[in-house]
Amino acid sequence: MNPLKRLIDWVKGPKSDFALFIVLVVLLNAVGARAFFRLDLTARHSYSLSSVSRETVKTLEEPLGVKVFFSDQLPAPYNSVARYLEDLLVEYKGAGNRYLSVESFDMSKAENQQLASGYGLQMVQLQEVKDNEVGIKNAWMGMVIVYADGIETLDGLTSSDGLEYRITTTIGKMVAKANTLSGLSEKVRMTLYLSPGLGNFGISGFDKVKSEVAAAWGRANAKNLERIDFATLEPAAPGDVDALVSRYGLPKISWGKSGSAEEGSGVIGLTLEYGDRFRTVPLSVSRGLFGYGITGLDSLDSGIADALQALMTRSSKVGYVTGHGELSLEDAQTGAANFSSVISDLYEFQSLDLSSGDIPANIASVVINGPKTRFSETELYRLDQFVARGGSLLLFLDPFEEVQDQQMAMYGLPPAYNPVDTGLERLLGAWGVSVKPAYVLDKTCYTARQQGAASVPLYYVPLLGNSGMNRKNPISRGLTEVLMLAVGEVSLAEDLPQGVTATVLAESSRESWLMSENVSLSPYAMRVPPSDQMESRKLAVLLEGKFPSAYTAPPEELAQPGADGGLVSKTAVAAGLQAGKVVIMGSSAITSGSVMDEKGQQPVAMFVRNALDYLNGNGDLIDMRTKGLSRNPLKASSGGVKAAVNAVNLYGLPFLVALGGLAAWRRRVARRRSIRSRYVPRDERETAPARGAEKGESK
């Protein structure tokens, strides 16, 4: 017989079934190793990469190596960290391009341990329970990321919480540091706007503007892979000048009729644009002792670099306003040192004195944390214009200032609480928001537990659960059990300015009330009012949109009046140029060491950090940080609901099991009858009982 025919017959026959099954399993495994999919059914999608992580590794332009140094046979629960990291790196590898490589090292080998030590990794001590004994085990639990000339280490990875966030932010910082313009699909546009009419006024340095800016562009372009285009435009028509002032917020320079020169207006400015975003480089006309001159030419290189960084990268510099009694960044107990530590992985606070000059171009967000004294009109104006031009503002505003007199303290007298008046109310009022001079007290609060004494509810420390945090906004989504401390109510006007939207991020429970008079934070002096005087209170609010200005003109000290025929520079922006963001929280105490831990593990620390991320355009990082948040308690229920659930668990479930067993037994009886009626003749069914009786008697 033909061998081919014999093979075909064998394949068709039953003898080949087992062999073909083995071949099928092998082929399926081979295909699955290269083409596979995973389903992540966890509530926070803990085992799936966020979109920002995928984008970060997909747009790599140089080789990036991930080296994993993890010991084998780690004790629980640390073995789950190793498995989670392995699964996470598989996701990174699948999402990355050809430049991403992952390598794991066998840490039982001495040469790999020496390599890990060379990178700066150190062994960690883990507690191990074995044979009913508790011991200590040394293990390697770290990884190294290498990109271009940079090396970053992530050591002591003993928890899976926030692991994706740490990896992605580290890679992002390394890529941004290596190349500011990495992965751009188009070039950045640099434009110099210079009205020729300004040349008639003998402005010092005017004839050098074009050449100086062109030279600075050449230097910046060479440093950034030739990805910056440059052009010079000379707007002369009044309509063109007004359009530029409205679009970019450039200073409009006007002059009156003088001699043969007619009255008119012009503009001078330097902008950087990418897509629909833009930044301006400081360049203007100023009036000095010896006449008019161009300011900003001597700092063009740094100005262009700062504007480019603010335009193309996630801003790492955050302005921290000082000079009005704000919380100190050096004090870890009553100041905001822990706040500075929590955000230090991605941001750096830069002290900002608003009285000394405008907000630098490389700062995209500003924090005002617990001011106690008034802002000057100049300072308020600079903040107002910063937001109107698309800047972001994070405000921690206290309703009262606690003042403890030493002499009163000697006699055990409580401190005084004075209402805070900062002048920021002018800006907030223009935006449709205010902070009431009253503390929010809440029956759902932190309870101080004392040994040998009854627990004491601290009504001035509201505890915000699932219902108190906005579940739709990324700043507050995924957070619960957020502790607020000495917080005031943030109220919204019925009619917000056109183009501005408000989102409530956090609010107290429905059993809340205000304390505005005879203020005392002693828990024993507080009285709970009747329920009809209680309602939910807003504690944190987000405003977004194009903010209107609270000023129609600059304050007098910033105005530049000119003589007849002289120049007058007007820089006030009446309406928002770009969409800005403002977050208002009614307490600065939540950024102090009393509530915020240094590592940022507490929910309130994550809440504040999420707000800062959102304001800086890093909202896509928020979900990564809260993926591993382990505390997720059930929603609070009333006593009646709890009693009903308890009764169902104790009595309802056993009853349902018994009822199900009875139903199954009756179904089996009905099934036997159905089979009998189908296959046993009717006459035999009728005589079956009699035959059974005869057999019983014969036995």
Q: Where are the domains of the chain?
A: 3-34, 51-178, 189-297, 314-636, 642-684
Q: Kindly indicate the confidence band of residue 1, based on its pLDDT and cuts at 50, 70 and 90.
A: low
Region 28-40: what's the mean pLDDT? Answer: 68
| Between residues 40 and 275, the one the model is more confident about | 275
Q: What is the pLDDT of residue 500?
A: 94
534's tokens: 């209680």
- Return the exposure string of 90-100: e unless at least 16 CB atoms fall within 10 Å of the residue's CB, then b: ebbeebbeeeb
**Is residue 699 over pLDDT 60?**
no
Q: Which helix (H) or strand (E) holds 674?
A: helix 653-679
**Is residue 566 over pLDDT 80?**
no
How buried is residue 581: exposed, middle or buried, by Cβ count under 10 Å (0-12/13-18/19+)?
A: buried
CA angle 523, 371, 362 (to 5 degrees): 135
Q: How far apart are CA 584 and CA 491, in angstroms?
A: 10
**Is residue 115 over pLDDT 80?**
yes
Q: What is the dihedral of CA 143, 144, 147, 149, to 10 degrees?
A: 170
| Between residues 619 and 441, the one the model is more confident about | 441
Considering only CA atoms, which of 168, 260, 293 is closest in space to residue 625?
168
Q: Kindly indicate the confidence band of residue 183, based on its pLDDT and cuts at 50, 70 and 90.
A: low
Q: What is the pLDDT of residue 110?
A: 93
**Is residue 385 over pLDDT 70?**
yes
pLDDT tens digits, one per residue of 438-465 = 999 999 999 988 766 778 899 999 999 8
Cis peptide before 77 (omega within 30 of 0): yes
* DSSP H helices in 400-558: 406-410, 425-431
Region 567-573: what's the mean pLDDT? Answer: 65
% of the chain beyond a pLDDT of 70 = 85
Range in 26-35, 161-170, 671-680 the model is least confident about: 26-35
**Is residue 638 over pLDDT 70?**
no
Region 651-662: what's the mean pLDDT? Answer: 89
Residues 110-118: contacts with CB under 8 Å, at least 24 apart: 112/69, 113/140, 115/69, 116/69, 116/140, 116/142, 116/144
- Other C-beta atoms lying within 10 Å of the C-beta of residue 218: 12
Residues in a beta bridge with 231: 191
How buried is residue 498: exposed, middle or buried, by Cβ count under 10 Å (0-12/13-18/19+)?
A: exposed
For residues 150 and 177, the answer to whether their CB atoms sit within 8 Å is: yes
For residues 435 and 488, the answer to whether their CB atoms sit within 8 Å is: yes
Q: How far apart are CA 166 and CA 651, in angstroms?
A: 48
Residue 650: DSSP 8-state: I
How buried is residue 491: exposed, middle or buried, by Cβ count under 10 Å (0-12/13-18/19+)?
A: middle
Q: Kindly indicate the confidence band of residue 223, based on its pLDDT and cuts at 50, 70 and 90.
A: confident
pLDDT tens digits, one per residue of 533-558 = 899 999 999 999 999 888 877 776 56
Ramachandran category for residue 259: left, alpha or beta (phi over 0 → left; psi -120 to 50 → alpha):
left
| Between residues 314 and 75, the one the model is more confident about | 75
For residues 171 and 163, the answer to whether their CB atoms sit within 8 Å is: no
**Is residue 367 over pLDDT 80?**
yes
Region 354-380: what's the mean pLDDT? Answer: 91
Residue type for 521, please? Answer: L
**Is residue 637 over pLDDT 80?**
no
**Is residue 680 over pLDDT 80?**
no
CA 383 to chain centre: 23
Q: Kindly indicate the confidence band of residue 488, based on its pLDDT and cuts at 50, 70 and 90.
A: very high
**Is residue 411 over pLDDT 90?**
no
Architecture of domain 51-178: 3-Layer(aba) Sandwich (3.40)
Is the Cα dihedral 129, 135, 136, 140 positive or negative? negative
**Is residue 574 over pLDDT 80?**
no
Range in 13-22, 406-415, 583-592 the model is least confident about: 406-415
Give backbone dihedrals phi and psi of 482, rounded to 5 degrees, phi first: -85, 125
Half-sphere exposure of 65 (CA within 13 A, CB side): 10
**Is residue 510 over pLDDT 70?**
yes
Q: What is the pLDDT of residue 563?
A: 44
**Is residue 161 over pLDDT 90?**
no
Q: Cα Rg for the chain, rounded, in angstroms?
A: 35
Region 54-58: what's the mean pLDDT? Answer: 88
Counts of helices then strands in the chain (DSSP H, E): 18, 29
Q: What is the pLDDT of residue 683?
A: 67
Residues in a beta bridge with 206: none
Give backbone dihedrals phi and psi of 88, rounded to 5 degrees, phi first: -65, -40
Q: Which helix (H) or strand (E) holds 590?
A: none
Is the Cα dihedral 521, 527, 533, 535 positive or negative? positive
CA angle 375, 418, 511 (to 5 degrees): 110
Q: How far apart are CA 583 and CA 484, in angstroms?
A: 16
**Is residue 73 over pLDDT 70?**
yes
Q: Kindly indicate the confidence band of residue 129, based on its pLDDT and cuts at 50, 70 and 90.
A: confident
For residues 383 and 427, the answer to whether their CB atoms sit within 8 Å is: yes
**Is residue 225 over pLDDT 80?**
no
| Between residues 699 and 538, the one the model is more confident about | 538
- Residue given tokens 């036997």 in the structure block: 672
- Other C-beta atoms lying within 10 Å of the C-beta of residue 639: 7
Strands lying side by side in the sheet with 456-464:
445-448, 456-464, 482-483
pLDDT tens digits, one per residue of 580-612 = 999 999 999 999 988 898 878 788 999 999 999
Q: What is the pLDDT of residue 224?
A: 76
CA angle 493, 497, 498 (to 5 degrees): 140
Region 110-118: what's the mean pLDDT? Answer: 93
Q: What is the pLDDT of residue 675?
A: 82
**Is residue 697 over pLDDT 50?**
no
Region 33-44: what's the mean pLDDT? Answer: 64
**Is residue 690 over pLDDT 80?**
no
**Is residue 630 over pLDDT 60?**
no
Kindly give the pairing relationship between strand 291-295 and strand 284-288: antiparallel
**Is residue 698 over pLDDT 50?**
no
**Is residue 431 over pLDDT 50?**
yes
